[in-house]
Structure 1
């Protein structure tokens, strides 16, 4: 059934809102930490939003060379935040972008090899990865409901009222509405929460007034890229982590859309991410990867059309070119976004559980893989200082619950399921030869 243009635009804008907060927070954190001026920070935010749109379009458009062809939205990876800050303050800002460019080329080169590892990603691994992603992101939503980490009114009654109030509105719409209104429950909840927030003086449009009307991307805005081994090695590690996370998202989306994700699809998906990372380096933005909250949104809305993601990607490009329009979404209170994010991240968890329902849990090996992997992911998220003794260059792995949980699932699956199968096959072959 063909939807009207206004409905398509509403659904596309809902995807933009779902990922916008994360896309803006990353440049704000990095820019402040490496000492950017207000003008430089404005550029970084605008170019990042535009590149999120371009990266999304590259991924949705499936051709012979690249593009997973699934309704996936891309954004700047949170895994890169700390490494970029360290690189910028130690080697200089141009070194960040030299490392990102080389990393993008690296991803392009290993795409074919990495896609052949698909046998190491059975449902017990992908389901665990998706579940871990959702579980480890829930604290982010809860902190936002409270007003955002570090905010002076963190945990105030008003923030809790607005955050959980937004969630209640979403739940009511999802339970009692039908059709299109049900599919935009997240968007409606955010708008309603923002309107209520305005009566308490929490909606600030100063960013809209200060933003310029038009903005163009500039090649090497922060200077000619510089190339150093440690920053490059660090960002390559970040990219590999992103590919593991993206693999779980690809399989989850394939399952939602009833499309089998094969090795060649993964290869094209990885290549699209590689191209997006290279462009991020050239125009001084960020490395890009899949955004899990949009997977939860697709599951909640029930709308799986790639056309909607094309619209969302186009909107992001437009917002990047017209900062004044994009600044409107910055006015949405953090607690309101937190309420919506809790619903979306929770859906990521539930979909991971659905993927795990296909796993044979009569096999004790699978039980152990899921138990330890999710335990490690949740444990590191709750106690990030657990691996304080780990060298600074490896903290990108040790402090991320998503990374630790995902790597644990992959390694344990090889130990418990892949190696025994090989051994069993060898024994059977020897017995047949003897007979």
Structure 2
């Protein structure tokens, strides 16, 4: 869609400009399509980790539908907070909000194998963590010094490394099939569905243009879905059953799963809020530079952070997950050249409508786990790649190499050792209190804390020492962002 047919160059750079409705609505839906799969994937991953909702005959099946529904509904509401604003809340820019990948490695240890009973503590952590996140809006400009690319790049890389295993398990047939020892796990049929998604996604990403390229993962999953039906992996009666069992309309229920104060959940969500806040600052800056050719103001950055946290807190009340700004939509703004916040408002309304119709979640639920696996392999691999891209902006002197080495060794080591030990077996953190054991199990929080503390306390004398003889003078020029 040509930008010149929508408005003048001056109008297109104005966040307050509203294009004609016939153009604004399709542009808004473009933003939703670009983030749709990424937005609902965390709900499926958390349900899988908790051990419920997989199979239309499961008694917990409605709970997964509800979580998918809340992911869409509160992504839309949080986006409205950003585009329309309420007092100091909201950047009043075309910021698209959605469920954050960053919190998944924190949520998985909290719910692992515990079923629906674990959700009260989980969403209690989301609520309190969201309020803390909103409070960061008052100081976000002052704490950015503690989160340089060395720290944020390490954290994003660790997030990706914690998630890549999920993609492989899904592509091979899913955790339930693995746990039951099903002969089909890792079979050719499972991998073929995942590979179809990967190949279609890569083909569109590199050889298509416009919206096909932007929504490559979504289109890839749709093609994989059709392939699964053709190969008999997805019976038609399962689709019709999920559709008929889901309501046509439903409102969110406050504290549907109760409220429980868990120290581990609260600490985990509050600490990860720092990463999410810095991510949002980067996205707001990218929107202003790419869409309006200017720097973001302090008011816009603070307002975006307030909306990030408040949107998360409200979502937690109703059984939704932490929200953050979505970086792929920043690229979409740069591509279309349309800076209008009202375009994104139309997209937010579309998301809210989807969130109020559980039948949409019913259809999403029927996506075979192998097909979803192909999509998340690409998405989570991109998280790792984005972390490495952030790290390319680090000055790799001896000091920074030591900080990175120690933080990565401890964080990744804990992640690999503790998370892969069967329940009931001894692990490296077994003598710690439950709270510390849960927080340490992800590896991300220990790595982040070590990197932050060492970066603040270690002397800078080593900063000018060359490591050319060690690394060949490795120093990148690019920056990266956590994709969704």
Question: Normalization by structure 2: what TM-score?
Answer: 0.71
Match 1:375 to one of 389, 409, 425: 409
1:74 counterpart SS class: strand
2:220 counterpart SS class: helix
1:383 counterpart SS class: helix
1:121 Cα deviation from its structure 2 partner: 1.3
Specify the alignment match of 1:321 in structure 2.
356
Specify the alignment match of 2:196 in structure 1.
165
User: CA contact under 8 A between 1:247 and 1:266: conserved in structure 2?
Assistant: no
For residues 309 and 149 of structure 1, do their structure 2 counterparts lie closer, same or farther at Cα, with a shift above 3 Å needed? farther
1:64 Cα deviation from its structure 2 partner: 5.5
Alpha-carbon distance in structure 1 between the residues aligned to 2:461 and 2:243: 58
Alpha-carbon distance in structure 2 between the residues aligned to 1:198 and 1:358: 45
Alpha-carbon distance in structure 2 between the residues aligned to 1:97 and 1:352: 27
User: CA contact under 8 A between 1:184 and 1:301: conserved in structure 2?
Assistant: no
Structure 1 position 288 matched with structure 2 position 322: yes
1:191 Cα deviation from its structure 2 partner: 1.2
Match 2:269 to one of 236, 239, 257: 239
Match 2:144 to one of 109, 115, 118: 118
For residues 233 and 195 of structure 1, do their structure 2 counterparts lie closer, same or farther at Cα, with a shift above 3 Å needed? same
User: CA contact under 8 A between 2:36 and 2:218: conserved in structure 1?
Assistant: no
2:205 counterpart SS class: helix
Structure 1 position 401 matched with structure 2 position 435: no
Residues 361-383 of structure 1, C-alpha deviation per residue, up to 9 Å, x if partnerless? 2x211222233333344333322
Match 1:273 to one of 289, 303, 308: 308
Matches within 5 A, 1:102-117: 102-109=128-135, 111-113=137-139, 115-117=141-143
Specify the alignment match of 1:183 in structure 2.
214
Specify the alignment match of 2:165 in structure 1.
139
Alpha-carbon distance in structure 1 between the residues aligned to 2:96 and 2:462: 35
Specify the alignment match of 1:66 in structure 2.
89
Alpha-carbon distance in structure 2 between the residues aligned to 1:420 and 1:56: 44
Match 1:174 to one of 205, 209, 217: 205
Runs of 5+ consecutive residues of structure 1 not aligned to the other structure: 422-435
For residues 183 and 38 of structure 1, do their structure 2 counterparts lie closer, same or farther at Cα, with a shift above 3 Å needed? closer
Matches within 5 A, 1:33-432: 42-59=65-82, 65-67=88-90, 69=93, 71-75=95-99, 77-78=103-104, 79-80=106-107, 82-83=109-110, 93=120, 101-109=127-135, 111-113=137-139, 115-151=141-177, 152=182, 153-203=184-234, 204-205=238-239, 206-221=241-256, 231=261, 233-250=263-280, 253=283, 257=287, 258=289, 267-283=302-318, 285-290=319-324, 295=327, 303=335, 310=345, 313-361=348-396, 363-384=397-418, 385-416=427-458
Count of residue correspondences: 409
For residues 98 and 169 of structure 1, do their structure 2 counterparts lie closer, same or farther at Cα, with a shift above 3 Å needed? closer
User: CA contact under 8 A between 1:369 and 1:409: conserved in structure 2?
Assistant: yes
Specify the alignment match of 1:429 in structure 2.
none
Cα RMSD for the two superposed structures? 3.8
Residues 186-234 of structure 1, C-alpha deviation per residue, up to 9 Å, x if partnerless? 22211111111111222331222210101112344456x57xxxx2544
Alpha-carbon distance in structure 2 between the residues aligned to 1:106 and 1:411: 21
For residues 156 and 245 of structure 1, do their structure 2 counterparts lie closer, same or farther at Cα, with a shift above 3 Å needed? farther
For residues 417 and 354 of structure 1, do their structure 2 counterparts lie closer, same or farther at Cα, with a shift above 3 Å needed? farther
Higher normalized helix content (fraction of residues):
1
Alpha-carbon distance in structure 2 between the residues aligned to 1:188 and 1:197: 14
Residues 311-349 of structure 1, C-alpha deviation per residue, up to 9 Å, x if partnerless? 554343222211012221222222222222222222222
For residues 311 and 370 of structure 1, do their structure 2 counterparts lie closer, same or farther at Cα, with a shift above 3 Å needed? farther
Further displaced range: 390-399 or 61-70:
61-70
Specify the alignment match of 1:18 in structure 2.
38
Alpha-carbon distance in structure 2 between the residues aligned to 1:165 and 1:396: 36
